[in-house]
Amino acid sequence: FDWICNYGPSFVLPASNCDVLYEPSDFFKELNHIFANAKQRIYISSLYFGTDPYEYEMIDSIRTALAKDPSVRLVVLLDYLRGLRIDNHKEKTTSKSMFLSLIEQFSSQVDFYLFHTPLLHGFLRKIIPMRYNESWGVQHMKIYMADDTLIISGANLNRAYFDNRQDRYLKLNHCPDLCQFFIDIIETVGKQSFKVKLDHPEPIFLGENHPFEGDNTQYRRDVENDLTSLMKTYQTRFPKPDSLSDDQALIIPLIQMGMFNINNDRDFNIHLYSHLPQHSILYLATSYFNMTEEYAQELIDNKRQDTTIKLLTASPQANGFYGSRGMSQYVPIGYSENEREFVEKAEKKCANDGQIQMLEYFRSQWTYHAKGLWLYENGKDYPVLTCIGSPNFGARSIRRDLEAQLAILTNNETLRTKFHRERSRLFQYGTNVTGETFKQTSRIAPLWGPLFMKIFRNFF
């Protein structure tokens, strides 16, 4: 597995510093705990921040830390388009408005950034309505830090993700170097984003070249240069370790920002899929099944015959878009079509021998949002490698969004047992899907289904 270190800086932690959280309620509890007890800094990177009582409680936890010590700093990076969308129409609340009280009370301690994708600019930006404009790309990294503690997830900070939307959550304790890496990533993106200031009604752009009103090409080049330089510095400072003991874990941050020509996560996955160990089992999970042709080719066409691949995705009823309004209501149909195409291709290639299996997650009253992978070596009961973070293995994650995840390699039995338990808890709600599934009346897509996904595939 030496090749893993080619895709990011190498951080080595005691395996005992890694805690797997299993339920949304655990995630909410731990976030409140680390935020309220922060003594130096709180960093939040997410798509958006909700506007329900859960989120007001979290604001109070952050307020507790800021009020205790004027040296505590809060830095928030959200997406511009999603962060300014009105969630509560009665009270006109947005992600931005949720933090205004903190900015007012602790102005010298708070930096609030909103990243705007450079892919939406010019005439398109003027005509694409709110909510749909987010399809062009968003800030999607889910990194939550307090002092030297980091929680990485695929979950947003919203009521559903604290209640009945299943995701994955990993808490890393006492990891100052890894925290500093993500702090520098967030600050670098923040300096090329918009900042919310009390004396300005609209967020103020901080960089030299505006992402949608100025030189769009130069803006993208500026961000690419800043991030590439930063990542090279960290790879030099934290190279591949000479060895890894059984009480340690090797952690590699995988950054994916296709619009800035940063494709570490994509390249990592392609290499992994094409170099699976003999007789290994690869488990993949994604909330929105939209596998790229590149990934599908490695998983199906170039797959070793002695390996097994099992994929878990949301059933139509567990899809976050199920029952939504407007054009979004058709998205689960599109994902179902993607599944059908993938399953048919896999069955044709592998002749129904179980080498590639598709499962759909269904849990009554729950939605599904977990993603990542677990790799089991030949005959081993527990995974040696796992990846956890925000990417969905789809076209949008690769080309349009800002994504981050961690690749974690360990031979520590206790930690591997935790990852195995996590994987088992998710896959226990999975039901096998075959080509016959899509012949059922309830799964037959409308005639426009395949066309819909062909046109909009890169936007979901």
- Which residues are marked as active site? 140, 142, 147
CB 87 within 8 A of CB 51: yes
Query: What would you measure as the largest C-alpha separation in the chain, in angstroms?
Result: 65
Residue 258 CB neighbours (<10 A):
20
- Give the Cα separation of 174 and 180 in Å (integer): 12
Please identify which residue in the block is written with the tokens 């080719």: 297
Query: Three-state SS across 86-145?
Result: CCECCCCECHHHHHHHHHHHCHHHEEEEEECCCCCCHHHHHHCCCCCHHHHCCECCCEEE
- Tell me how far apart the alpha carbons of residues 22 and 142 are, in angstroms, rounded to a whole number: 16
Amino acid symbol at 196: V
Continuous segment of H or E residues that includes residue 230 = helix 216-237
Check if the beta carbon of residue 389 is closer than 8 Å to that of residue 254.
yes
Report whether 372 contacts 272 (CB < 8 A): no
- Residue 315 Rama label (left phi>0; alpha psi -120 to 50; beta): beta
Cα 9 from Cα 31, distance rounded (Å): 26
Place of tokens 């002092």: 147
DSSP secondary structure code for residue 390 in this structure: S
> What is each CA distance from 151 to 49, 56, 58, 161, 264, in whole angstroms?
16, 20, 15, 14, 21
